[in-house]
Each structure stands twice: as structure tokens, then as C-alpha cells.
């Protein structure tokens, strides 16, 4: 089914618990209204899954391009069980979008493999502002919720 037809953030809580886990959340300040909505979705989800508020650490970076380095610093300094990276890069008229999105995706994938730690890609890459809104708490859900659930599931998988 195409994503345009459903809320992508629906999930079952069966077997998912964030109890005893620690998380870093790195948030891009660019497109602030969107990234704040993503952060709120992630935070509320972690708390609803039993995470201790004191075990959730937020750090801000200027833009999505800075997410990989910010996430690396969080991993080095705080040693969390997973790091959720939240950003929004809206398609523009130039290829800048492609370079930023590729760099962030590749940077986070490299960190996953180098650290053997979940660095969760919670970056929206919409065509326009409306699509971003629809994926940051609108009719298509909230990518922050999806990122938080993914982080918890990856920590559980690693602990098995």
C-alpha cells in the first residue's frame, strides 16, 4: 500500500519496552517547527514505552548535515543504547537537497556500522512544507514516533 494512503506511525506496543534503556536524541534546528514536532513524537513515545526521562538526552545541531557529527559526539560522551537523529530537508530548486540527504544517510549508516550502535535515521525528505507537516504529526503520522519505536526495537534485538 502506498504511504499516501495511511498513517505510517501506527504500531503495536506488544513486546516493546524501553525500560532500562538510555537514548540520545539529536535534533536539527533547521525547519524548527517540523523538527520540534518530530522530537515531541519521539520523546512521548519513549516515555510511553517506559523509558526513564533521566535516560533521554537531547542535543541540538544547526542543520541535518550536522546530525552525524552531533550523533557521534553523543555516542562518545553519553554512551546511550541508541541515538535518534531527527531532521527535515525539504526539496528545493537546486541539487543541494541531494547532497545533504546523501551525506546524512551515509554518515549515519557509517556510524551504525562503526559503533555497532543504532543511529536511527529520523530525517524527513519531503518535496514541500505540506508533506513535511503531514509526516510530523499530520495525516501520515509522525516520523519521530517511528524513529523512537525503531530505536527501542534495535536495542531489544541487540540485547537478545
Domains (range + CATH), the chain? 26-159 (3.40.50.960)
Model pLDDT, residue 63:
97
Other Cβ atoms less than 10 A from the Cβ of 92: the count is 11
pTM of the full structure: 0.92
Model pLDDT, residue 1:
39
Model pLDDT, residue 9:
63
Cα separations (Å) of 49 from 3, 44, 84, 107, 151?
25, 9, 15, 28, 11
Model pLDDT, residue 3:
52
Beta bridge partners of 86: 27, 122
Active-site residue, from 57, 96, 140, 158: 96
Phi, psi of 154 (to 5 degrees): -70, -40
Residues in the chain, pLDDT under 70: 1-10
Mark whether 96 is an active-site residue. yes
Amino acid at each position: 500500500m502506498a504511504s499516501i494512503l495511511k498513517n505510517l506511525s501506527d504500531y503495536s506496543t506488544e513486546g516493546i519496552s524501553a525500560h532500562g534503556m538510555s537514548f540520545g536524541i539529536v535534533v536539527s534546528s533547521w525547519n524548527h517547527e517540523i523538527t520540534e514536532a518530530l522530537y515531541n513524537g519521539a520523546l512521548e513515545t519513549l516515555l510511553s514505552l517506559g523509558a526513564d526521562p533521566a535516560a533521554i538526552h537531547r542535543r541540538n545541531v544547526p542543520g541535518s548535515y550536522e546530525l552525524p557529527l552531533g550523533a557521534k559526539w553523543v555516542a562518545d560522551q553519553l554512551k546511550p543504547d541508541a541515538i535518534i537523529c531527527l531532521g527535515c530537508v525539504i526539496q528545493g530548486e537546486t541539487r543541494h537537497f541531494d547532497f545533504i540527504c546523501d551525506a546524512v544517510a551515509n554518515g549515519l549508516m557509517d556510524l551504525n556500522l562503526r559503533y555497532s550502535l543504532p543511529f536511527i535515521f529520523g530525517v524527513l525528505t519531503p518535496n514541500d512544507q505540506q508533506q513535511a507537516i503531514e509526516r510530523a504529526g499530520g495525516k501520515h503520522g509522525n516520523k519521530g514516533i517511528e524513529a523512537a519505536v525503531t530505536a527501542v526495537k534495535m536495542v531489544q534485538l541487540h540485547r537478545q
